[in-house]
Amino acid sequence: MEYQIKKAQITELVRLRFAQPHSVVFNVEFGDYLDLSEFEGRAYVPASLNFTRVKFVNNKTSRRLCVFVCNETGCHKLFRKWHNLFDHMRIHTGERPFLCPVDGCKFTFNQLSNQKKHLDTHKNTSLLKCKVCHQGYSKHNLIPHFENAHTMYNSTVSATIQ
């Protein structure tokens, strides 16, 4: 019932944003009903799945479009890429799942890009130590190593999906 109201509101929002006629058919899926395995990757799944995926064929270009809408009250921001949506959802949840991989550093981040920017603050050290395995890595190799080797830091993803 509540979903039906939401569905109509979201459809109208997307329709107006893309200046589509009423005849366009929108496929609306709510975040908590989506199979999140297709969003697997390096980005952590946010604790809130209060978003909608809307698919439709653009009436002007005949192109298939897929947009994500944040359903948080008063927000309703639109995103074309799911990882941008996930980054955005963390603003609402306050999660900071990205850790600085440098040994002894306590910084945490809500976006992967901020984690990478932060690594520049460690640039005066020629070799940085990984906080998990304590091996030395250059600034550019540390984050890829950390993400690939220490999958336990990705365990929050599967924990969130369940």
| Binding residues for Zn ion (CB under 5 A) | 70, 72, 75, 77, 100, 102, 105, 107, 130, 132-133
Q: Which is nearer to Zn ion, 107 or 153 (CB)?
A: 107
Rounded CA-CA distance 69/11 in Å is 10
Query: Among residues 20 and 71, whose Cβ is nearest to Zn ion?
Result: 71
Min CB(61)–Zn ion separation in Å: 27
Question: Please, are residues 146 and 140 in contact by the beta-carbon 8 Å criterion?
Answer: no
Smallest separation, CB 69 to Zn ion (Å)? 9
**C-beta closer to Zn ion: residue 15 or 129:** 129
CB atoms within 10 A of CB 149: 14
The two structure tokens encoding residue 125? 């050290």
Distance in Å, CB of 89 to Zn ion, minimum:
7
At 128, phi and psi to the nearest 5?
-105, 145
Residue 61 is encoded by which pair of tokens? 């270009």
A 10 A CB-CB count for 70 gives: 20
User: Which of residues 59 and 72 has its CB atom nearest to Zn ion in the complex?
Assistant: 72
User: Smallest distance, Å, CB 85 to Zn ion?
Assistant: 9
d(CA 91, CA 115): 15
Distance CA 43, CA 115 (A): 12
User: Shortest approach of Zn ion to residue 3 CB, angstroms?
Assistant: 18
Q: Based on CB atoms, which residue is closest to Zn ion, 67 or 70?
A: 70
